[in-house]
Amino acid sequence: MTPEERFDALIGEDLKIEPRDPMPDAYRATMIRQIAQHAHSEVIGMQPEGNWITRAPSLKRKAILIAKVQDEAGHGLYLYSAAETLGVSRAELVDLLHEGRQKYSSIFNYPTLTWADIGAIGWLVDGAAITNQVMLTRTSYGPYSRAMIRICKEESFHQRQGYEIMRVLSEGTDAQRAMAQDALDRWWWPSLMMFGPPDAESTHTVQSMAWKIKLETNDQLRQRFIDATVPQAEYLGLKVPDPDLAWNTETGHYDVGPIDWDEFWSVVKGDGPCNKERSAHKVGVWEEHAWVREAAAAHAAKARTAAASA
């Protein structure tokens, strides 16, 4: 059996591809790109939420938010670890992010203006991420699939704590209720955009599905998220900001109005509200704390020398 036939046979039988298996260059490149961008998203995603740690409304909420942000750091590390099994180093990937040559999810280029945004991010942004990530637990590349299983277990807490924040606000004063509605108004459409362009315009979907990297299309996943989320908004007594939203008895799904894909592409290309701030902060912190990495390496080298001469 040639390496090509072996790879195709494994994919055909729904078996996982593992790090040292032969794989097409394009499969390897696609996996590196996808896992790296996923890892970068987890890491950059700490910024909008970290913004509210010092101003969380109670010690309980602060402890929860710290734990959540720490999880995001962990998720980034699981994913870099998975990417490294493909023969690329984490340092290279981090450099690509810092140089702007690899992207992260555009959702993190929106600002967190109020405490309700922390609720909306958990409920909607993590909710959308989970919809995608549950599919990815079955992706064809073993290390990515395993990272997704671990991440999905932890993300469930993220979404539930976000929904709880929204519930408490929506049961609160008029001002709190307005704050929750405003957060939903601002995060609803960007959350729907997280699934990527419509299937007709998605350049990677066909090949990714042939390789079983993706098992469902952007539009299928987006619809699943909408169908699950609209009733959750209704429970809160909040209004989804879409005048065309309607239950379609024929399809058994919600119909939604048009998504502003010009906005999506504008944010992807760097013109979102916070693109520059997010990148500058990431690079700044990396450089500012270079001394920590250098000191740890120097300490380890010194300890090795001492052990060798002892």
Contact residues for another protein (CB under 8 A)? 3-4, 7, 18, 20-26, 28, 67, 70-71, 74, 77-78, 81-82, 84, 87-91, 146-147, 154, 293-294, 296-301, 303-304
Q: Which is nearer to another protein, 66 or 134 (CB)?
A: 66
Residue at token pair 């299983």: 149
CB of 207 to another protein, least distance (A): 12
CB of 1 to another protein, least distance (A): 9
Distance between alpha carbon 196 and the CA centroid of its chain, in Å? 12
Task: Report the alpha-carbon distance of residue 43 to residue 32 in Å, rounded.
Answer: 16
Task: Report the alpha-carbon distance of residue 94 to residue 39 in Å, rounded.
Answer: 10
CB of 232 to another protein, least distance (A): 25
CB of 301 to another protein, least distance (A): 7
SS3 259: coil
Q: Strand 253-255 and strand 246-248: pairing?
A: antiparallel
Give bridge partners of residue 246 from the DSSP assignment.
255
Residue at token pair 């539930």: 160
CB of 25 to another protein, least distance (A): 6
Task: Report the alpha-carbon distance of residue 204 to residue 33 in Å, rounded.
Answer: 12
The DSSP 8-state label assigned to residue 199 in this structure reads G
CB of 160 to another protein, least distance (A): 15
CB of 97 to another protein, least distance (A): 14
Give bridge partners of residue 141 from the DSSP assignment.
17
Q: Which is nearer to another protein, 88 or 165 (CB)?
A: 88
Angle at 203 between CA 198 and CA 205, to 5 degrees: 75
Q: Which is nearer to another protein, 71 or 185 (CB)?
A: 71
SS3 201: helix
Task: Report the alpha-carbon distance of residue 120 to residue 183 in Å, rounded.
Answer: 6
Residue 53 CA: distances (Å) to CA of 46, 57, 58, 60, 67? 11, 9, 10, 11, 10
What residues have CB less than 8 Å from 179, skipping those under 6 apart? Answer: 114, 115, 116, 169
Task: Report the alpha-carbon distance of residue 35 to residue 7 in Å, rounded.
Answer: 20
Give bridge partners of residue 255 from the DSSP assignment.
246
Q: Which is nearer to another protein, 200 or 290 (CB)?
A: 290
CB of 113 to another protein, least distance (A): 29
